Structure 1
Amino acid sequence: MRILHTMLRVGDMQRSIDFYTSVLGMRLLRQNDFPDGKFTLAFVGYEDESVASAIELTYNYGVERYELGTAYGHIALEVDDAYAACEAVRAKGCKVVREAGPMKHGSTVIAFVEDPDGYKIEFIQK
């Protein structure tokens, strides 16, 4: 068994695809529109779905915003340099919500950024 994907509901499909591809460097792996079901799916990731997990972005027609709730946490990405990753995100006009630095109770360097819908993305430095 392996994890195939994690699904996030988004309010603007193109804005989300742009964030995950242009800001975080993922590729758009596939996209399908389901007019009868009134939704569109897009899968983004760093590698083909046959070898790595992806993120499924789901846009439901007419829904521009979701309440994120208190159970969801974040998506974690390994990066070479969390400080540089934050600067790259900021340079593209996106939001850094926790600057790079050591964890409060450890030495691992982490940072958090936010996607256009408010989902948190953690950068964990190698």
Structure 2
Amino acid sequence: MLKYLHTMVRVKDLEASIAFYKLLGLEEVRRRDSEGGRFTLVFLAAPGQEDCKLELTYNWDGDEGLPSDSRHFGHLAYQTDDIYGLCQHLMDNGVTINRPPRCGHMAFVRSPDNVSIELLQAGDDLPPAEPWASMPNTGHW
């Protein structure tokens, strides 16, 4: 039997990363500081979904490889009840919408550490609406 535990991503600025994932609606569910290993692990989850965690790993002495393109990682995917509302909330807080939800179904953004995040509309696609329908892609995802 196999049970999903979590996805881990390394972060360069722990507080900026936590703030970003909180904009998505995730909450901190656990934290572990390791004096000997000189790192902090922060586990985040959507409310009521503590079995599906995102682990942020922060190395106290820095991580010069971050942020890199991170495309070798793939992406994290989250479902939302209102993709337009979530994308507007993210934009209002300074997050670039790399692939807008033109079709009312899917969007992509990047975390402060360049991790690609896919946002998917729950249920049926929303009808196309502005400004999303005509918004161009920015960068890549």
What TM-score results when the alignment is normalised by the length of structure 2? 0.76
Rg comparison, structure with higher value: 2
Aligned residues: 118
Question: Aligned in 2, Cα 1:41/1:91: closer, same or farther, shift over 3 Å?
Answer: same
1:36 corresponds to 2:36: yes
Q: How far off is 1:5 after superposition?
A: 0.2
Do residues 113 (structure 1) and 115 (structure 2) align? no
RMSD: 1.6
**Which residues of 2 match residues 78-117 of structure 1 at below 5 A?**
78-102=79-103, 109-117=105-113
Give every structure 1 segment of 4 or more consecutive aligned residues whose post-TM-superposition deviation is greater than 3 Å. none
Unpaired stretches in structure 1, ≥5 consecutive residues:
103-107
Residue of structure 2 equivalent to 1:105: none
- Structure having the higher strand fraction is 1
Query: Corresponding residue for 2:55?
Result: 56
Is 1:74–1:119's contact at 8 Å kept on the other side of the alignment? yes
Deviates more, 1:34-43 or 1:68-77: 68-77
Q: Report the CA distance shift for 1:19/1:69 in structure 2 as closer, same or farther (over 3 A).
A: closer
Distance 1:25 1:41 in 2: 19
* 1:61 to partner: Cα distance: 1.6
What is the one-letter code of the residue matched to 1:29? Answer: V
Q: For residue 101 of structure 1, give the secondary structure of its aligned residue in structure 2.
A: coil
Partner Cα distance (2:44, 2:34) in 1: 18
Q: Structure 2: give runs of 5+ residues left out of the alignment.
A: 123-141
